[in-house]
Chains A and B, each alone.
Chain A
């Protein structure tokens, strides 16, 4: 077992993990309140892998992840208020309400997203690493993805490119044992994922992703190899999500006992216990960590609630990067209005009227239990969502 870090680092690790845990629990609650929409993928149980990784990265390093990255952004230093506001689809969200839960992004902290397509972030990570290498910079790219992504074509392609070009990159598989509802044994012919890149010249190792100190130790070494020797490596971190794949997941694919068994290895509880036993932290500090997480998350909800809906005038904003004398390029062809778009910097009246008429429909499904995307026809990620107790009566 890797050594415990000093008291202030241990405190920080615990605080970050606790904050993510509390944030995710609250995100789930807000989802049930229909304050957050779409899909919601929670990382409860995976905090040690996330925080262990970011805690040994430098500010200039790039981190890129999947659709389960509220925690990654928070671990990187993004204000939880802005992540919660994004889940609420509000103007103060990390992407101003255009990305949602699956597309969190924070350029300032070099958290490079948040991607909804499994494996889609891998080639982009290689490109980010290429940009650092090309410019002669020291920055390393850490690319995190799930066990399911190790079967995507992008996985092999990117491993090959990273090794071929000696890119400063570390790949980290967050192996939570399931690609959505399909277990590793049922989705990967080779279940030792750490071996899957060896044929491309990228060595791998398996680590306990529930132990934040183990994650720190391995990631620090992987980052060092990338930074100093331009050698990409692959880490397979065993972790577990207590909640379903998304909030609309009936979890028919696993037993309750399995979840309970993993809960015994809870990354936060076990680390806290170790810190107490070693005398690095005391009960008072633990309580302080809990209280702070609680206060921060409640403030985040309050902030998100108070944040405005994005103005309709911004519907077309940032679709293109416009020059000083260029128009907005986007041409909304939904109405037989004279074509103006490419010469105007603002949304024309016809497009605004269409947007207003459409946005009025958003009011119709405010409050109350959220509609289930799976049964309402726009998604197939599960059957029945959990309905929070407070809404069961209303049903």
Chain B
């Protein structure tokens, strides 16, 4: 995954002189997660810029640079630090095109890796997809495969809107086929159906897209249940049509995310499904989320707070209760 993301940036930087990368430790150090490896060598300090640890100002400088005609890719070292930049992200990047009535554009990408599972404790394990999903004016991408990561990041860089690009720290080592075609981009708002099935629809994002797929395999192997697995890939815009079409066929839905339950991605999606496919549902929409706590450090407690395959299997079986 990390090479796919790096290639996406390098290809777009070759294609468009206005693209630049800036963030903490992105140049000389080559990125805290080595995603920007090699970029400084190829593009130099003018286009690959180390910044001070000043998140709100890094993002704000990106906003201004974008308004001035550049296409900045701002890397926030992790999702957790994006909280320090929320003023620039919400009050400025997201609001400026609207509040100035289209006189200014903010074509920038704000990349940030997040997620739990590395024993980093409460301040370094956040999942804020839902937080950014809530903000009008932002686009939100959350790729789960290297191919999607590359194609979505390229699309994000070319897009004229501010894009929150969420990466999962556990997926940086993920392997998979990636297109060499530098013209290939993935449109935002197109979900991927990872597995077809007629019994239950499972929607998962980021790392949970993989957990959902694993659960579907177990459901087939051990329970004779054929689950359809959908990865939305972007949350704004959201390909709700693909999800609704599936739910109308399976009549059951399970949503899997790592974030907190209240006001989460699952809460939002469950509402949309209930509002728009109520007559098709044979069971309440099930949500599998991270625990409603700050991520504990202890490996035992941390694993207890993160959704796993078994949780998804149970949720799917609960949705199917009485029909098996």
Contact = CB atoms under 8 A, between A and B. Distances in A.
Interface of A: 62, 94-96, 98-99, 103, 105-107, 112-117, 120, 122-132, 134-135, 153-154, 157-158, 160-161, 164-165, 317-321, 327, 329-331, 333, 336, 338-339, 341-343
Given A125-B64, A329-B139, A339-B240, A105 B100 contact: yes
B67 A124 contact: yes
A91 to B, nearest CB: 10
Contact of B87 (A114, A117, A125, A319): A117
B224 interface: no
B189 interface: yes
A128 B104 CA distance: 12
B57 to A, nearest CB: 4
A342 B97 contact: no
Nearest to A96: B101
Contacts of B304: none
Contacts of B161: 320-321, 329
B295 interface: no
A98 B97 CA distance: 10
B219 interface: no
B187 to A, nearest CB: 8
B99 interface: yes
A95 B103 contact: yes
Interface of B: 20, 46, 49, 51-52, 54, 56-70, 72, 87-88, 91-92, 96-105, 107, 136-137, 139, 159-161, 189, 236-241, 244, 271-272, 275-276
A138 to B, nearest CB: 13
B129 to A, nearest CB: 16
A128 B58 CA distance: 12
A321 B160 contact: yes
Contact of B104 (A112, A116, A153, A336): A112
B54 to A, nearest CB: 4
B101 A131 contact: no
B136 A330 contact: yes
Contact of B61 (A96, A117, A130, A153): A130
A126 B94 CA distance: 18
B238 A342 contact: yes
A291 B128 CA distance: 57
Contact of B276 (A129, A319, A321, A338): A338
B137 A105 contact: no
A61 B135 CA distance: 32
Contact of A153 (B56, B59, B189, B238): B56
Contacts of B69: 131, 135
A122 B60 contact: yes
A123 B65 CA distance: 10
A127 B20 CA distance: 12
Contacts of B54: 157, 160-161
B139 A318 contact: no
Given A124-B92, A161-B52, A131 B99 contact: no
Contacts of A161: 51-52, 54, 57, 61
A157 B272 contact: no
Given A117-B87, A123-B59, A134 B46 contact: yes
Given A117-B91, A135-B69, A319-B137, A126 B100 contact: no
A98 B104 contact: no
Contacts of B64: 112, 123-131
A115 B95 CA distance: 11
Contacts of B96: 113
Nearest to B106: A321
Given A130-B68, A131-B67, A329 B87 contact: no
Nearest to B158: A323
24 contacts: A94-B101, A95-B101, A98-B100, A105-B99, A105-B104, A120-B87, A122-B60, A123-B58, A123-B59, A124-B92, A125-B64, A126-B57, A128-B65, A129-B64, A161-B54, A317-B101, A318-B98, A319-B97, A321-B97, A321-B107, A327-B237, A329-B189, A339-B241, A339-B244
Q: Which 4 pairs across A and B sit closest by C-beta, in order of nearness? A: A127-B64, A123-B60, A131-B68, A318-B102
A330 B94 CA distance: 12
A384 B61 CA distance: 38
B88 A336 contact: no
A112 B57 contact: no
B100 A123 contact: no
A96 B69 CA distance: 23
A160 B98 contact: no
Given A130-B65, A336-B276, A319 B60 contact: no
A134 B91 contact: no
A319 B57 contact: no
B60 A120 contact: yes
Contact of B97 (A120, A164, A320, A341): A320
A177 B299 CA distance: 54
> Which of B60, B137, B244 has most chain A Cβ within 10 Å?
B60
Contacts of B239: 342
A126 B65 CA distance: 8
Contacts of B57: 122-123, 126, 154, 157-158, 161
Given A157-B56, A339-B272, A127 B66 contact: yes
A128 B35 CA distance: 27
B101 A126 contact: no
Contacts of B236: 329
Contacts of A96: 101
Given A107-B103, A338-B276, 17 more contacts: A105-B100, A106-B103, A117-B87, A117-B92, A122-B57, A123-B58, A123-B88, A124-B64, A124-B92, A126-B60, A128-B67, A128-B68, A134-B70, A158-B61, A318-B101, A320-B161, A330-B136
